Amino acid sequence: MATAAFPASEREHYLNKDYGIRSWLLTTDHKRIALLYLLSITFFFFIGGFFALLIRLELLTPAGDLVQADTYNKLFTMHGQVMIFFFLIPSIPAVLGNFLVPLMIGAKDLAFPRINLLSWYLYIIAGVMMLHAMLTGGVDTGWTFYTPFSTAFSNTRVIEAGLSIFVAGFSSILTGLNFVVTIHRMRAPGMTWSRLPLFIWALYATSIIQLLGTPVLAITLVLVVLERAFHFGIFDPTQGGDPLLFQHLFWFYSHPAVYIMILPSMGVVTEIIACFSRKRIFGYKFVALASIGIAVLGFLVWAHHMFVAGISLYSALIFSILSYLVAVPSAIKVFNWTATMYKGSISFSTPMLYAFGFIGLFTMGGMTGLFLACLGVDVHVTDTYFVVAHFHYIMVGSAVMGYLGGMHFWWPKISGRMYPEGWGRLAALTVFIGFNLTFFPQFILGYMGMPRRYWQYPPEFQILNVLSTAGSTILAVGYVLPMVYFLWSMRYGKHATDNPWGAAGLEWKTASPPPTFNFDEPPQVSWEAYDYEHIPAPEEVPVAR
Amino acid sequence: MFQNFPLWPISASTMSGRVDALFIFLLVVCGFMTIAIFVLILFFAARYRRRPGFEAEQIEGSNALELTWSIVPLAIFMVIFTWGAVIYFQGRTPPQGADEIYVVAKQWMWKLQHEGGQREINELHVPVGRDIKMIMTSQDVIHSFYVPAFRIKQDVLPGRYTTAWFHATRAGTYHLFCAEYCGTQHSGMIGQVVVMEPAQYEAWLAGGTSGAPLAVTGQKLFAELGCSTCHRSDAQGRGPDLDGVFGKPVLLEDGRTVTVDEDYVRESILSPAAKVVKGFKPIMPTFQGIVSEEQVNALVAYVKSLAQPPPGQATRSANLAAPQTHTEQVH
């Protein structure tokens, strides 16, 4: 609506072009849609986090005393479903990816701006369905929906939750489709594949997984719904069905889904390390190909979730060896990040602290993945807290570290303001310490034999559980802090320049915040990615106040 | 070495030592790699921190390095894989002649039955120093039989058998957990494995209010359900003769061959038409919903007892019906 109320000195950009609820709800601007996603996933993050805190509080004592057993089962189920489908999977792609893909490749918008908005509406519809399912009784199947428990035994709102995730899946598919087409068709002149930022490569790999994997999840959930409603018997052994078939179908999507969560984070961290080391990424091609390698190999390892499920000895051997293969591209990335820092000029700004944290937690998560891929060890530790700790190191520790690192790195571009650097560093440190305190004890609990999804547990496990719960409160503070100072900075933060970090990348060559169509003139690219040789470092790392 | 270390689980089976050794190897190797990476990063961070007058030196990359840090980890991974595969193979291959325990899991309890007919709930008594094989099935959802002290875990599925085995090395009482989420009282589906010295175990066996041996119960059922009218040994039966078939391959109508194991016997009772033996018609009615899981187990144990005994042991001992010639001896 009106734009007149602005001081003449302030130029027009995507945030002040229009005001009013309609201009947001009907926008096709990828940057505004990114902010719609930011609000929605933050909402779900805090819902999922609230469930997590209740879980940790229940586990403070061995007896089941805070909530009922059924309530506890619903808490961990909905914690998983909300965090995975409504926070982690959309997190970096739908927020940072949406905002940055066109900016980084020099395009005006995504290839299908209206489909982009449709993605968000599908997400919201799915979210409302999930909230409704939660408020009218909840679900207690575990986020994994294992049959025949989910199809024939649970008395909770399985169908509604399943359909909600089915709809959320289409949101994810459409985002992936949009990115793939955009990256293929919308690159600015001169922006060749070998000049693409590695964040784009990572999102490209992610989008492929979203496109190819999510339909399988959708089919699987439909089968669960049909079986539950009409007793089809696909997974029911008394009708000749096979409950293990469900697990194969489910993990065929849900293992690659882990890469949907972690690959974008790897991309973010790659950008940050290059910028704050002022270096070209060591082994650009290998890092790019590693993303594709992870996306492809990630589809061939699903049954490593099923080593004790009753699959044949020989298929277990094959899935174990394939799981080791997918670890190689991840290792390549870690080594290349490390090598990038060699002879760099390293500053310890907030995004870089998150990147350090990412490498630390990802290395720990990846290394413990080697334990789980190892058949002989997996039998003992699978379905225990060892697995819980492992996947939280990857999906929460690393993925959220990357997400927060990216939010800090690009916040000046998104909001046009600087966040307070001191608080930023403090939050990064708090998250790192809180995270390790929460989840490291769980590795020990797992090897000691504490099964996951236990509402009550034998008393010898208590000390480690108390440590974990204590850590989770610190972690919670670490996650709330950025939200507070980001909000604060929108009003009080120092105005950001176009390129406060002295970063390479097209997104830094336009204004902060960018105009609606991103670039005043269509950019022409004639330089390689991470051209830090030709970009002066900022005089000082910008610090607000 | 770790038995008194409170952060390490009790080790009480032949498997636990092997798993621990591999786990420690992994801790050392992965710990070393992790520390090496962290030290390098911290060193670079300190050595190349941003200072006035120092510029970053641009480096393109190095194919030799990339190859090195792809191949060396892969080689280490293959060592881990092989070692893990060997242990897994051992865990999946129950030794011949193991004592058998039939396990039926249900929401939310473990029902266990010994070959001698002793029944237990949420408690399993076993002797130290013997191979114990569990033949497990579930009455409802998926459960998982997990004894951390033995480092064994196996999901228990409805509609089929899965097996696990262990060889306890230390007397004591150990946790038995359900490790696959199974509903409201999942965390209450716990029990204990009591490992006893052989003499005490014999006393326990004798003192229990045991019913007849499982195979005998099975034999009675076999007659009561009318199985014996068709499954006869005189070649006149409309069903295959079951004497001595257990553990042997049989040819099916569709040309395939299957080995008669617990699962095949079970399937033949519940879905008789699934795999019909060559030369017979699919006329057998299903017993789905007619026999309980425990009764299926008894029938399986009976069919198994019709096969050859381990040498030196009279099978079809005096308890069982009239002595017959073993097919095995005919050959």
Q: What is the pLDDT of residues A448-470, one digit of tens each?
A: 999 999 999 999 999 999 999 99
Whether A6 has a pLDDT exceeding 60, the answer reads no
Q: Rounded to an integer, what distance in angstroms lies between the CA atom of residue A83 and that of residue A144?
A: 13
Q: What pTM does this model have?
A: 0.92
B67, closest residue in chain A (CA to CA): A332
Q: What is the pLDDT of residues A144-172, one digit of tens each?
A: 999 999 999 999 999 999 999 999 999 99
Domain limits of chain B? 1-44+64-211, 214-321
Residue of A336, A380, A390 best to disrupt the B interface, most CBs of B under 10 A: A380
Q: Is B191 helix (H, G, I), strand (E, B) or coil?
A: strand
Of B56, B157, B289, the CB nearest to A243: B157
Contact across the interface for B77 and A328, Cβ inside 8 Å: yes
- φ and ψ of A19, to 5 deg: -125, 170
Q: Rounded to an integer, what distance in angstroms lies between the CA atom of residue A313 and that of residue A130?
A: 38
* Per-residue pLDDT, B327: 38
- A317 confidence band (pLDDT: 50, 70, 90): very high
Of A325, A345, A375, the CB nearest to B84: A375
Give B199's contacts (C-beta < 8 A, 6+ positions apart). Answer: none
Of A320, A345, A460, the CB nearest to B56: A345
In CATH terms, B1-44+64-211 corresponds, of 1.10.3720.10, 3.30.499.10, 2.60.40.420, 3.10.20.340, to 2.60.40.420
Contact across the interface for A282 and B59, Cβ inside 8 Å: yes
Q: What is the pLDDT of residues B1-40, one digit of tens each?
A: 444 446 899 999 999 999 999 999 999 999 999 999 999 9
Q: What is the pLDDT of residues B39-56, one digit of tens each?
A: 999 999 999 998 887 888
Whether A28 has a pLDDT exceeding 50, the answer reads yes
The answer to whether the complex's ipTM is over 0.90 is yes
List of chain A residues whose C-beta atoms are within 8 Å of the C-beta of residue B74: 324-325, 328
* Per-residue pLDDT, B321: 41
Contact across the interface for B146 and A449, Cβ inside 8 Å: yes
More confident residue, B211 or A253: A253
A186-A190-A192 Cα angle (round to 5): 70
User: Where do we find the tokens 């995270």?
Assistant: A435
Domains, in order of start, for chain A = 30-534 (1.20.210.10)
* Per-residue pLDDT, A540: 61
Residue A414's identity, in one-letter code, is I
List of chain A residues whose C-beta atoms are within 8 Å of the C-beta of residue B92: 313
Of A313, A377, A532, the CB nearest to B84: A377
- φ and ψ of A460, to 5 deg: -65, -15
Give A390's contacts (C-beta < 8 A, 6+ positions apart). Answer: A365, A368, A369, A371, A372, A443
Of A283, A286, A346, the CB nearest to B48: A346
DSSP at B11:
-
Q: Where are the beta strands (DSSP E) in B230-279?
A: 249-251, 257-259
Whether A544 has a pLDDT exceeding 70, the answer reads no
Residue of B66, B76, B79, B288 best to disrupt the A interface, most CBs of A under 10 A: B66
Q: What is the pLDDT of residues A32-66, one digit of tens each?
A: 999 999 999 999 999 999 999 999 999 999 999 99
Residues A300 and A322: beta-carbon distance below 8 Å: yes
Q: Rounded to an integer, what distance in angstroms lies between the CA atom of residue B168 and that of residue B153?
A: 15
How distant is the Cα of B179 from the closest Cα of chain A, in angstroms? 5
Q: What is the mean pLDDT of residues A217-229?
A: 95
Q: Where are the beta strands (DSSP E) in chain B?
A: 99-106, 109-114, 119-121, 123-127, 131-138, 143-147, 152-156, 162-167, 172-178, 191-196, 249-251, 257-259
Q: Rounded to an integer, what distance in angstroms lies between the CA atom of residue B149 and that of residue B13?
A: 7
Judged by average pLDDT, the poorest of A11-25, A49-63, A432-446, B295-309 is: B295-309
DSSP notation for A240-265:
T--HHHHHHHHHHHHHHHHHHHHHHH
* Per-residue pLDDT, A239: 85
* Per-residue pLDDT, B232: 81
Q: Is A500 helix (H, G, I), strand (E, B) or coil?
A: coil
Contact across the interface for A153 and B183, Cβ inside 8 Å: yes
CB atoms within 10 A of CB A320: 25
List of chain A residues whose C-beta atoms are within 8 Å of the C-beta of residue B154: 308, 310
Q: What is the mean pLDDT of residues A97-102?
A: 97
Give A224's contacts (C-beta < 8 A, 6+ positions apart). Answer: A145, A147, A150, A151, A158, A162, A235, A246
B176, closest residue in chain A (CA to CA): A449
Whether A447 has a pLDDT exceeding 50, the answer reads yes
* Per-residue pLDDT, B329: 38
In CATH terms, B214-321 corresponds, of 1.10.760.10, 3.40.50.300, 3.40.50.1360, 1.25.40.10, to 1.10.760.10
* Per-residue pLDDT, B279: 85
User: Among candidates A425, A401, A339, which has minimal Cα distance to B44?
Assistant: A339
Residues A532 and A279: beta-carbon distance below 8 Å: yes
List of chain B residues whose C-beta atoms are within 8 Å of the C-beta of residue A305: none
* Per-residue pLDDT, B309: 59
Residues B66 and B72: beta-carbon distance below 8 Å: no
Q: Rounded to an integer, what distance in angstroms lies between the CA atom of residue A379 and that of residue A392?
A: 20
Whether A321 has a pLDDT exceeding 90, the answer reads yes
Q: Rounded to an integer, what distance in angstroms lies between the CA atom of residue A230 and that of residue B264?
A: 29
Give A70's contacts (C-beta < 8 A, 6+ positions apart). Answer: A140, B184
B60, closest residue in chain A (CA to CA): A282
Question: Which residues 461-520 of A have a C-beta within 8 angstroms of B?
Answer: none
Contact across the interface for B48 and A368, Cβ inside 8 Å: no
Of B19, B83, B142, the CB nearest to A146: B142
Give B24's contacts (C-beta < 8 A, 6+ positions apart). Answer: none
Residues B326 and B241: beta-carbon distance below 8 Å: no
* Per-residue pLDDT, B52: 82
* Per-residue pLDDT, B44: 95
Sheet holding B143-147, edge to edge: B123-127, B191-196, B172-178, B143-147, B152-156
A282, closest residue in chain B (CA to CA): B61
How distant is the Cα of A534 from the closest Cα of chain B, in angstroms? 11
List of chain B residues whose C-beta atoms are within 8 Å of the C-beta of residue A63: none
More confident residue, B51 or A328: A328
* Per-residue pLDDT, B53: 78
Contact across the interface for A308 and B155, Cβ inside 8 Å: yes
Give the mean pLDDT per block of 10 residues along chain B (331 residues).
Answer: 65 96 97 96 94 86 93 96 96 93 95 91 95 96 97 96 96 96 96 95 81 88 89 79 88 91 91 89 88 91 79 43 39 38
* Per-residue pLDDT, A541: 56
